[in-house]
Amino acid sequence: MTLRVAILISGGGSNMVKLVESMTGDHPARPVLVASNDPDAKGLERAASMGIAVASVDHRRFGGDRHAFETELQAVLDAAKPDIICCAGFMRILTAEFTGKWQGKMLNIHPSLLPKYKGLNTHARAIEAGDDEAGCSVHELTAELDGGPILGQSRVPILPDDTPETLAARVLVEEHRLYPRVLRNFAEEMVQKQ
Ligand code: GRF
């Protein structure tokens, strides 16, 4: 039984592309939807060009009404019937009500070595702190921002002349390797539990 994967993005979707490209052959999952909170997200064009169904729910249409936004996003996801949801550069904070519905089925990639540097500007904070390494983490998404069980991490050195931009570029290479690997393991474990 092939698992159905929906991917949530907000921007370019480079992680989404790697996830889609990884779900081939004997991989137990296939992408069924790429959705964004931004109808202009470049990743939607990239997903459509890869033959993946796309959708958007423009969060700006709901003002500050997070519940109304999530209700529409939930309906879009329910229609796709995903077994797994991967947040990949998805920049909206989701409420406990939403994440609770997908408990144990929702993953996220975060550009830091969690639990360090939850939230934004992770690379600038690591450089500022004088850390000698940085990296990325794939974790189960829960109501706690960037706080769910960690499923995998990848480390890179911080170099003396690094800027947040040069460090982000080095970490992104590792994100593109880590997320597909963690998703495959996660999907295989889900199939075994069935
Ligand atoms: C990545 O650094 C990811 O860790 C963060 O958003 C950035 C952009 O991701 N969540 P993508 O290129 O849109 O996948």
What is the reported pTM? 0.96
The tokens describing 136, both together, are 């990325």
Nearest of 142, 46, 146, 44 to residue 85 by alpha carbon: 142
User: Has 123 been annotated as catalytic?
Assistant: no
Alpha-carbon gap, residue 49 to 166, rounded angstroms? 29
Bridging pattern class, strands 54-56 and 29-36: parallel
- Tell me which residue has its CA closest to atom 7 in ligand 1: 89
Tell me which DSSP letter residue 126 carries.
H
Hey, is 166 helix, strand or coil? helix
- Each residue's pLDDT expressed in tens, for the chain with a length of 194 residues: 899 999 999 999 999 999 999 999 999 999 999 999 999 999 999 999 999 999 999 999 998 899 999 999 999 999 999 999 999 999 998 999 999 999 999 999 999 999 999 999 999 999 999 999 999 999 999 888 888 999 999 999 999 999 999 999 999 999 999 999 999 999 999 999 98
Hey, is 44 helix, strand or coil? helix
Alpha-carbon gap, residue 47 to 44, rounded angstroms? 5
Q: Ligand 1: does its nearest atom lie under 6 Å from the Cβ of 172? A: yes
Predicted pLDDT at 141: 94
Question: Which residue spans within 37-81 are E strands per DSSP?
Answer: 54-56
Q: Ligand 1: does its nearest atom lie under 6 Å from the Cβ of 178? A: no
- Tell me which residue has its CA closest to atom 2 in ligand 1: 111
Q: Ligand 1: does its nearest atom lie under 6 Å from the Cβ of 147? A: no
- Tell me which residue has its CA closest to atom 12 in ligand 1: 14
Strand order in the sheet with 29-36: 54-56, 29-36, 3-9, 84-87, 106-110, 133-140, 150-157
Indicate the angle between helix axes 164-193 and 14-22, nearest 10 degrees. 30
Write the DSSP assignment of 168-194 as a string of letters. HHHHHHHHHHHHHHHHHHHHHHHHHH-
Q: Ligand 1: does its nearest atom lie under 6 Å from the Cβ of 20? A: no
Q: What is the CATH number of domain 3-193?
A: 3.40.50.170
Q: Per the residue annotation, which of 59, 110, 123, 176 is the catalytic one?
A: 110
Q: Ligand 1: does its nearest atom lie under 6 Å from the Cβ of 111? A: yes
Q: Rg of the chain's alpha carbons, rounded to an integer?
A: 16
